[in-house]
Amino acid sequence: KITAAITGVHGYVPDYILTNEELSTMVDTSDEWITSRTGIKERHILKGEGQGTSVMGIEAVKGLLAKTNTKPEEIDLLLCATVTPDYVFPSTANLIATACGLGHVPSFDLGAACSGFVYALTIGSQFIETGKYRKVIVVGADKMSSIVDYQDRTTCVLFGDGAGAVLLEPNADGYGIVDSKVYSDGAGVQHLYQKAGGSKYPPTLETVQNREHFARQEGQAVFKFAVVRMAEVAAEIMERNQLTSEEIAWLVPHQANKRIIDATAQRMGIGPEKVMLNIHKYGNTTAATIPLCLWDYESQLKKGDNLVLAAFGGGFTWGAALVKW
């Protein structure tokens, strides 16, 4: 059986750092509140006129190609998970592929909010497993600052901008994405969404004045669903691959809130020393959190380590993947 091995990972975050201190000058909040309730200390923000999510995706993919000594023309497919595309259309994947010199490679975006990367990995790996393609790039990228209301203290402290990318290649020895499972429940829309700007509520003066183009959420409801669902799907993946928590080297959780991560790890019986964590410096970068974790922890990963990737996001969507590194 051929599996899709992750043969390279790279990330990119913009230079500008928005600290909790600076946020405290913008809304009624404090470093103490943000740190204790979320674990976030700072986040990176993409500044500048006309700078979209693709800018970060391009940097991540260019770095990935260089690092893995891969020629752009070798790539067979590029997927980009994002909820903050540069345009409604064409896709951000198209823009990234062309800017990175990938030629007329097939490329498309995929929207599953914070679970986007796990969804895209699941889809990308199928093309490798079937033998259809040999080199697939999966990007997770979001410019959350473009849909965050910096007058709403309940959301603006949570999010940041960033991108991460992985290269998938065939492996005959069982390394790579061994298994994955993704779910959705559209009944969750009311708890976490961006109301206006789509086809249901196209942009009007009124929607803009009502600040309906920003992400809104019921924080506590999202919190509860996230903990239950992430732990549930991670347990399902471990069970059907007959792995105990001792056999898991790393939990790679979506970084939405440190308390969600802690509670999920606890339910899974995984100690904090085995949990990848970088929320303190990036906040929630939506589809980018998991590849950014892999990038940050790359030097600590050993061949054969079992990684459980787990995510939860708007939709609701959730999912987990088992990766043998």
Catalytic residue among 114, 171, 191, 293: 114
* CA–CA gap between residue 295 and residue 166 (Å, rounded): 9
Annotation marks residue 191 as catalytic: no
Closest to ligand ACO by CB, 3 or 20: 20
Whether 20 sits among the annotated catalytic residues: the reply is no
Specify whether 254 is catalytic: yes
- Using the minimum distance from each CB to ligand ACO, give the nearer residue, 176 or 283: 283
Q: Which residue among 100, 257, 284, 293 is the active-site one? A: 284
| C-alpha of 70 from chain center | 23
Find, among 118, 124, 324, the residue nearest to 241 by Cα.
Answer: 324
CA angle, 164 then 167 then 168, to 5°: 130
Q: Considering the complex, state which of residue 120 and residue 128 has its C-beta at the smaller distance from ligand ACO.
A: 120
Which among 44, 254, 257, 293 is annotated as catalytic? Answer: 254
CB of 258 to ligand ACO, least distance (A): 9
Rg, the chain, Cα only: 19
Q: Which positions touch ligand ACO (CB under 6 A)?
A: 29, 33-34, 37-38, 113-114, 153-154, 157, 192, 217, 219-220, 222-223, 256-257, 284, 286, 313-314
The least distance separating ligand ACO from the CB of residue 158, rounded to whole angstroms, comes to 6
What is the C-alpha to C-alpha distance for residues 41 and 26, in angstroms, rounded to an integer? 15
Placement of tokens 């459980």 in the chain: 308
Residue nearer to ligand ACO on the CB measure, 173 or 185: 185
| Minimum gap (Å) between residue 35 Cβ and ligand ACO | 11
Show the DSSP H helices in 108-218 as ranges: 116-129, 153-156, 205-209
CB of 28 to ligand ACO, least distance (A): 6
Contact indicator for 68, 8 with CB cutoff of 8 Å: yes
Q: Are 212 and 200 in contact (CB under 8 A)?
A: no
- Active-site residue list: 114, 254, 284
